[in-house]
Amino acid sequence: MNTLLTPLAGRRILLGVTGGVAAYKAADLLRRLKEAGAEVRVVMTTHATAFVAPLTFQALSGEPVRDGLLDPAHEAAMGHIELARWPDLILVAPATANCMAKVAQGLADDLLSTLLLATDRPVAMAPAMNRLMWANPATRANVETLLARGIQLLGPGSGDQACGETGEGRMLEPVQIRDAVIERLTTPGPLQGCRAVVSAGPTREPIDPVRFIGNRSSGKQGFAVAAALKALGAEVTLVAGPVSLPTPAGVKRVDVETTAQMLEAARTAVAGAQLFVSVAAVADYHVADVAPRKIKKHDASLPLVLNRNPDILSTLRAEFPALFMVGFAAETDDLETHARGKLERKGLQMIAANQVGDGRAFEVDRNALQVFWPGGSATLDEGPKADVARALAALIADRYRNP
Ligand code: CTP
């Protein structure tokens, strides 16, 4: 077998075709993937079949094309859950604005959207839509959701559109998509073989059975870091404080509430791991005496005694001296001085600092980071948290590989 000519030999790709004019290009894409050696099965949405007949894809793939969710004959051959686990990659090309919105929402009202919800395999999408649909705030928000969950977007490109307009939203050419798929499936990520643990979100310290002390962390940055490390090939465990965010694809998640629980979960997870990224906004104190019953408002004031929590990073530093540890620092002033102080005190290899206050960083979708390590620093420009996470993951991989 000549792996130069057939770099995708032995790889399985599930090609999802949705209803856009670019669906005709998906037939050429299928041929290119097959030429590269891939085994390809095709799932079409009903709208896609209005643009290109399923028979075209059937002839090119040599496999029956599926377009219905509850087709008894197809289900008997390979059920949709089995099909969701079959490929090395699910590639949706073209991906319409509607398809992206459905996946962002977790809708499963046809075969393709059900497969995308039921899969634990990597997913790539090649968007194709009118430029105004691509620029629409609804689509922008969906794109960020998809990226944050680790879905790879290929394109779109810009240029002449089928509707007669010119702008961003054209599907990439089939060869460009094929090349991106080859790169994705054949290049080992820089963190291949590395086990990473990421903590994310706030922690909650109970006051009584119904109340707690918490903070404004949304968990978005930490979840995006977990997805970005996963995309670089790491095996990732995410220790998550109480947030209602979807788990990035392929990431193992452990939910915790208090700082003590986060320390325990992180301690268990880092045994056998090489990398720990502590993004969580960990509560520094807990209530000394948690009331066993709901506190009633009898008194004019209610003093609470708070005791210090253990520092998770410092604790794990002492127990796991070889662990590559990355901390975060949220600062309102003297960013570099405070961040470098924590880098040293906590024995970290790297620290990512952000300026907080005035509505920055917490509970918002954008962020910017100043990253410091002994003898160096980098600035990660302001952008969506998913972009910042990817830049940070690349930096971590680089420092981890070449300390
Ligand atoms: N951190 C930790 N354990 C704690 C508190 C914080 O591991 N009990 C970690 C955070 O996850 C973060 C880093 O330490 O990666 C810095 O957190 P930050 O709250 O900025 O620093 P503190 O050490 O709590 O210092 P201070 O609150 O005094 O600024």
**pLDDT in the model for residue 163:** 80
Catalytic residue status for 194 = no
> Residue 112 falls within a domain, yes or no?
yes
Half-sphere exposure of 165 (CA within 13 A, CB side): 11
**Nearest alpha-carbon partner for 341 in 314, 307, 378, 368:** 314
Structural domain boundaries, residue 178: 12-186
Asked whether 123 and 92 are in contact (CB, 8 A), the reply is: yes
Which of 342, 362, 372 best tests ligand 1's pocket when mutated (most atoms within 8 Å of CB)?
342
**pLDDT in the model for residue 360:** 65
Query: How far is C-alpha 11 from the chain's CA centre?
Result: 23
CATH of the domain at 40: 3.40.50.1950
**pLDDT in the model for residue 357:** 75
Ligand 1 within 6 A of CB of 326:
no
β-strand 89-95 against 205-206: which pairing, if any? unpaired
pLDDT higher than threshold 70 for residue 264: yes
pLDDT higher than threshold 80 for residue 16: yes
Q: pTM for the full model?
A: 0.70
The residue behind tokens 């109480």 is: 242
Query: Domain check: are 151 and 291 in the same one?
Result: no
Ligand 1 within 6 A of CB of 259:
yes
**Nearest alpha-carbon partner for 294 in 380, 207, 234:** 207
pLDDT higher than threshold 90 for residue 347: yes
Closest ligand 1 atom to residue 280 Cα is: 11
C-alpha span between 211 and 213 (Å, rounded): 7
Query: Domain check: are 350 and 378 in the same one?
Result: yes
Q: Which of 14-23, 62-71, 179-188, 236-245 has the lowest mean pLDDT?
A: 62-71
148, 168, 186 — which closes off a domain?
A: 186
**pLDDT in the model for residue 214:** 96
> Once rounded to an integer, what is the mean pLDDT over residues 128-136?
96
Query: Domain check: are 248 and 339 in the same one?
Result: yes
> Once rounded to an integer, what is the mean pLDDT over residues 246-256?
90
Tokens of 367: 């962020």
Q: Which long-range contacts (CB under 8 A, 24 or more apart) does 359-363 make?
A: 361/221, 361/330, 362/215, 362/216, 362/217, 362/218, 362/281, 362/330, 363/216, 363/218
> Once rounded to an integer, what is the mean pLDDT over residues 218-222?
94
Query: Domain check: are 309 and 280 in the same one?
Result: yes
Ligand 1 within 6 A of CB of 313:
yes
Over the chain, what is the mean pLDDT? 93
pLDDT higher than threshold 90 for residue 52: yes
> Once rounded to an integer, what is the mean pLDDT over residues 268-291?
97
Q: Atom 18 (ligand 1): residue with closest C-alpha?
A: 329
Confidence of residue 78 (pLDDT cuts 50, 70, 90): confident
Which of 69, 163, 180, 335 is flagged as catalytic?
Answer: 163
Give the orientation angle of helix 97-105 with respect to helix 137-148, to 10 degrees: 50
Q: Which of 44-48, 160-164, 188-192, 315-319 has the lowest mean pLDDT?
A: 160-164
Which of 215, 239, 276, 282 best tests ligand 1's pocket when mutated (most atoms within 8 Å of CB)?
282
Query: Domain check: are 43 and 156 in the same one?
Result: yes
186, 207, 242 — which closes off a domain?
A: 186
Query: Domain check: are 160 and 54 in the same one?
Result: yes
